[in-house]
Amino acid sequence: MSLSVQKKKILIVVMDGLGDRGCKELGGLTPLQATDTPNLDWFTRNGIAGTCDTVDIGIRPGSDTSHLSILGYDPLEVYTGRGPFEAAGIGLIGRYGDVAFRCNFSTCDSDLNITDRRAGRINKPDTTELIKALEGMRIDGIEAVIKEGTEHRAALILRGAGLSPDVTDVDSHDLGPLSWSKGETPEAKFTAEVLNKFVNETYKRLKDHPVNKKRAANGLLPANIIVPRGAGSFPNIQPFPEKYNMKAACVAGVGMIKGICGVCGLDVIDLPEDCTGGSDSNFVSKAKAALKVLEKYDFVLMNVKAPDVAGHDSDPMLKCGVIKRLDEMAGYLKDNFREDLVIVFTADHSTPCSLGDHSGDPVPITVYTPGNVKDDAVTFSESGCAHGRIGRIRGKYIVPMCMDLADRTEKYGA
Amino acid sequence: MSLSVQKKKILIVVMDGLGDRGCKELGGLTPLQATDTPNLDWFTRNGIAGTCDTVDIGIRPGSDTSHLSILGYDPLEVYTGRGPFEAAGIGLIGRYGDVAFRCNFSTCDSDLNITDRRAGRINKPDTTELIKALEGMRIDGIEAVIKEGTEHRAALILRGAGLSPDVTDVDSHDLGPLSWSKGETPEAKFTAEVLNKFVNETYKRLKDHPVNKKRAANGLLPANIIVPRGAGSFPNIQPFPEKYNMKAACVAGVGMIKGICGVCGLDVIDLPEDCTGGSDSNFVSKAKAALKVLEKYDFVLMNVKAPDVAGHDSDPMLKCGVIKRLDEMAGYLKDNFREDLVIVFTADHSTPCSLGDHSGDPVPITVYTPGNVKDDAVTFSESGCAHGRIGRIRGKYIVPMCMDLADRTEKYGA
């Protein structure tokens, strides 16, 4: 007899860069081992635990490849580089086949020699006005969509038939003449030609723009040209909601994480202002936002960036403090737990303080839902979770595992 | 901020055939469980531990397939048989495409009927003299390179275009007529023809050789023909130093292990005389040699054969004694530890005394480097290591895992 069981919702809490190695300052313990985490331990004690290689054993994941894995995609199959995710991070979400570029607002002379790569570190509101002059461009049948990022940064998408990402940068990464884009294949040659025409057109439209005239009058450098680099194709990704038949959203502060989730078809939810994406972010406020989003969605990925920042800063004491506050966040989620929820606490990768960068050390993972199996893991840490029955898994198995615990999986066979 | 971190070196200590099953003579314990190993336990307590299926779960590895795995190659993809490794083990390291054979110096009559397969167990210096007469042979455009092994053994490589390993043995494995080599495909037919011509030519060159005349005069059997068997292609293996960007060497006494390492592009280091490769080998002397080699190399694989010998001899008490001495060796490595080292203690396979042969039981593994995560495993044994956070891994992940701990791995993604 198969009971009619209510499907559960899924919340994955990604504590960015949480894993670590032994820290001298902590007597050889990791920040997680050294910090009392009663709430994370509660989830571990009452749930199942394990360790996770988000991409694979020994691979040092970036935030992009690891989040793809956590969303159930194998980056070794779908990853095409960071460019598309950065474009998506500022809201420029392309489709499979689109080619994305990172761009700078720059300053050039009338021979198009670059005199300042960042146009005097131009910022909003000037960029917002200037970008409007570049909208709706169409070159040789190709649509050019541009959007401003932070400060002098922008992203560009070329969209249309016959494009290739195998083109060189227009950005010479130096002052002086531009290194006009080139390609080898017919598609790449065409793409380079369109890209070069786009750059020329930005100069035409920006050089006498009122914003630049005003900047000149104020002794500021004009932003009179857009210079692209870092071509990358949008990956061929089956949208998450279609792949898993769940309405899905992400709650994150960092642009690239929002970009990855956006490219995977998750709705990117605006955050309360106190969720900054930095060490000062209000984690409880973010957890509250995630629970609110779960009222309307089946699946939420929530990213908290702060532990990664502490790891990159090589600051074990800061990381311990962040962990203490993450545990308070876990306490909020425990106290406000919805019974129809499968919750996951894990990290996208380790960022050991002794390294100041990502490492391939596996990260702890704990999964809890009412009525699941309790295993013998009792503490949430790199070592404590290793006692659990999840064992050592790859990140791409997290969603399938949760789908089953959420009773959203069809039987395979009879 | 990414710190400028010094890359570490890697030492993998392979205790050959170390794993075991419960022994009646030891009250149901394995030799490792029954023997006090304070030094191996020290590494386990201060490092991370797990269990390892060198090839895969349930597969009984040979020394060749297991060492390929431990060096980071998947034998299911690259293994082509033992022949090439045995040839390489006596210093005849071929290239991809070369076909290797194991050979005997044999005795035959004038109709080429074999009368003694081992030429009266001929040995050096006679074989050394005889082999010289066979050097520089070229048959139908194919180079035939031969080298003597121990006693009546030798190895042959055929090198040139259009060869195939799919040929039958000339060796009939019995007295009487030779079973001339055959092949099915055009390449195999050609290879068999070259091989048969080679055998005929060895008879021509050896039958009246002064060494054989002298042997006859002394009542010894002449070694007047070379009889090949066990054709095998050299595998298509990316050299280890290129694959992992490490200067790599092996410290081993056994021919086949040296052969495997040689084929994988590791430098094979000559050992002190008291490192015999047998049960009487001086393990501390070998460890000392390994540490010396590490001064000039980034990676060293060290193989200690003795526990395998005790397992094949079905002698649990001998195996316990060997383990006691292996622990002393671990003590030497602990007392002379270099801070920039990632050290691995593991086995290539289990050789249970109750079986007298290899089994597929997973082997214990412990990895230690200063500043790594300490997990909760405290004893080095088949059961003790299962508490550690390495979990259960396949052998081919050992090098990638160590590469990351040695900070030699590039980030995958952004």
**Residue-wise pLDDT tens digits, B288-333:** 999 999 999 999 999 999 999 999 999 999 999 999 999 999 999 9
Question: Strand ranges (DSSP E) for B170-209?
Answer: 176-177
Using a 10 angstrom Cβ sphere, with 0-12 exposed, 13-18 middle and 19 or more buried, the burial of residue A91 is middle
A378 shares contact with chain B (CB less than 8 Å): no
User: Is the per-residue pLDDT at A389 higher than 80?
Assistant: yes
Q: How would residue A410 be classed by pLDDT, with cut points 50, 70 and 90?
A: very high
Q: How would residue A1 be classed by pLDDT, with cut points 50, 70 and 90?
A: low
Residues A1, A399 contacting (CB under 8 angstroms): no
Residue A105 has a pLDDT of 95
Which residues 76-105 in chain A show a CB within 8 A of chain B?
A: 79, 82, 85
Q: How far is residue B92's CA from residue B256's CA, in Å, rounded to a whole number?
A: 11
> Residue A21: its chain B contacts at CB < 8 A?
371-373
Residue A2 has a pLDDT of 63
Tens-digit pLDDT profile for residues B21-55: 999 999 999 999 999 999 999 999 999 999 999 99
Tens-digit pLDDT profile for residues B363-395: 999 999 999 999 999 999 999 999 999 999 999
Nearest CB to B371: which of A55, A75, A354?
A: A354
A397 shares contact with chain B (CB less than 8 Å): no
Report the chain A residue with the minimal C-alpha distance to residue B1: A312
Residues A13, A289 contacting (CB under 8 angstroms): no
Which run of H or E residues covers position B256?
helix B255-263
| Distance of residue B28 Cα from the nearest chain A Cα, in angstroms | 25
- Can you spell out the DSSP letters for A60-117? EE-HHHHHHHHTT--HHHH---SHHHHHHHTT----TT-EEEEEEEEEE-TT-EEEET
B375 shares contact with chain A (CB less than 8 Å): yes
| Distance of residue A306 Cα from the nearest chain B Cα, in angstroms | 14
Q: How would residue B109 be classed by pLDDT, with cut points 50, 70 and 90?
A: very high
| Distance of residue B205 Cα from the nearest chain A Cα, in angstroms | 55
Residues B226, B199 contacting (CB under 8 angstroms): yes
Residue B203 has a pLDDT of 96
A201: CB partners within 8 A, 6+ apart: A137, A139
A73 shares contact with chain B (CB less than 8 Å): no
Beta carbons within 10 angstroms of residue B115's beta carbon: 14
Tens-digit pLDDT profile for residues A331-388: 999 999 999 999 999 999 999 999 999 999 999 999 999 999 999 999 999 999 999 9
Q: How far is residue A377's CA from residue A390's CA, in Å, rounded to a whole number?
A: 10
B276: CB partners within 8 A, 6+ apart: B253
User: Is the per-residue pLDDT at A157 higher than 60?
Assistant: yes
Whole-prediction pTM value? 0.90
Residues A250, A303 contacting (CB under 8 angstroms): yes
B57 shares contact with chain A (CB less than 8 Å): no
Percent of chain A residues past pLDDT 90, beyond the cut: 88
Beta partners for A147? A155
B5 shares contact with chain A (CB less than 8 Å): yes
Residues A300, A10 contacting (CB under 8 angstroms): yes
Token readout for A413 is 């066979």
B340 shares contact with chain A (CB less than 8 Å): no
Tens-digit pLDDT profile for residues B148-162: 988 899 999 999 999
User: Is the per-residue pLDDT at B138 higher than 60?
Assistant: yes
Tens-digit pLDDT profile for residues A5-53: 899 999 999 999 999 999 999 999 999 999 999 999 999 999 999 999 9
SS3 category, A52: strand
Tens-digit pLDDT profile for residues A70-126: 999 999 999 988 889 989 988 899 888 899 999 999 999 999 999 999 998 998 899
Using a 10 angstrom Cβ sphere, with 0-12 exposed, 13-18 middle and 19 or more buried, the burial of residue B284 is middle
Separation in Å, CA A106 to CA A222, A299, B236: 8, 41, 50
- Interchain CB distance below 8 Å, B374 and A51: no
Residue B42 has a pLDDT of 98
Beta carbons within 10 angstroms of residue A77's beta carbon: 11
Nearest CB to B413: which of A79, A314, A385?
A: A79
| Distance of residue A277 Cα from the nearest chain B Cα, in angstroms | 17
The mean pLDDT value of chain A amounts to 94
Q: How far is residue A247's CA from residue A240's CA, in Å, rounded to a whole number?
A: 8
Report the chain A residue with the minimal C-alpha distance to residue B46: A28
User: Is the per-residue pLDDT at A311 higher than 60?
Assistant: yes
Tens-digit pLDDT profile for residues A232-285: 999 999 999 999 999 999 999 888 999 999 999 999 998 887 877 777 789 999
Report the chain A residue with the minimal C-alpha distance to residue B400: A58
Residue type, A313: D
> Residue B3: its chain A contacts at CB < 8 A?
314, 354-357
Cis peptide before B370 (omega within 30 of 0): no
> Residue A33: its chain B contacts at CB < 8 A?
373-374
Beta carbons within 10 angstroms of residue B392's beta carbon: 15
- Residue B326's closest CA among B41, B25, B62, B51? B41
A30 shares contact with chain B (CB less than 8 Å): yes
A–B interface: beta-carbon pairs under 8 A: 118
B228: CB partners within 8 A, 6+ apart: B101, B102, B103, B156, B169, B170, B171, B181, B195, B198, B199
- Interchain CB distance below 8 Å, B373 and A79: no
User: Is the per-residue pLDDT at A3 higher than 80?
Assistant: no
> Residue B409: its chain A contacts at CB < 8 A?
58-60, 359-360
Nearest CB to B409: which of A60, A63, A65?
A: A60
Token readout for B227 is 């009889």
Nearest CB to A356: which of B3, B389, B412?
A: B3
Residue B280 has a pLDDT of 76
A411 shares contact with chain B (CB less than 8 Å): no
Nearest CB to B391: which of A21, A359, A386?
A: A386
Separation in Å, CA A296 to CA A246, A269, A289, A292, A338: 11, 12, 12, 8, 13
Nearest CB to A387: which of B2, B376, B405?
A: B376
Residue type, A409: T
Beta carbons within 10 angstroms of residue B188's beta carbon: 20
User: Is the per-residue pLDDT at B343 higher than 70?
Assistant: yes
Token readout for B207 is 């039958």
| Distance of residue B244 Cα from the nearest chain A Cα, in angstroms | 12
> Residue A66: its chain B contacts at CB < 8 A?
413
B404 shares contact with chain A (CB less than 8 Å): yes
> Residue B2: its chain A contacts at CB < 8 A?
312, 355-357
Residue B3 has a pLDDT of 63
A383 shares contact with chain B (CB less than 8 Å): yes
SS3 category, B162: coil
Q: How far is residue A21's CA from residue B123's CA, in Å, rounded to a whole number?
A: 55
A66 shares contact with chain B (CB less than 8 Å): yes
Higher pLDDT residue, B249 or B120? B249
Q: Decide if the complex's ipTM is over 0.95.
A: no
Residue B133 has a pLDDT of 94
Q: How would residue B281 be classed by pLDDT, with cut points 50, 70 and 90?
A: confident
Give chain A's count of helices (H) and strands (E).
Answer: 14, 16
Q: How far is residue B203's CA from residue A217's CA, in Å, rounded to a whole number?
A: 99
Which run of H or E residues covers position B200?
helix B186-206
Residues B100, B81 contacting (CB under 8 angstroms): no
Q: How would residue B1 be classed by pLDDT, with cut points 50, 70 and 90?
A: very low
Residues A250, A268 contacting (CB under 8 angstroms): yes
Per-residue pLDDT averaged across A296-301, rounded?
98
Q: How far is residue A35's CA from residue A323's CA, in Å, rounded to a whole number?
A: 7
Which residues 173-192 in chain B show a CB within 8 A of chain A?
A: none
Task: Return the biggest CA–CA distance within chain A.
Answer: 80
| Distance of residue A386 Cα from the nearest chain B Cα, in angstroms | 5
User: Is the per-residue pLDDT at B352 higher than 60?
Assistant: yes
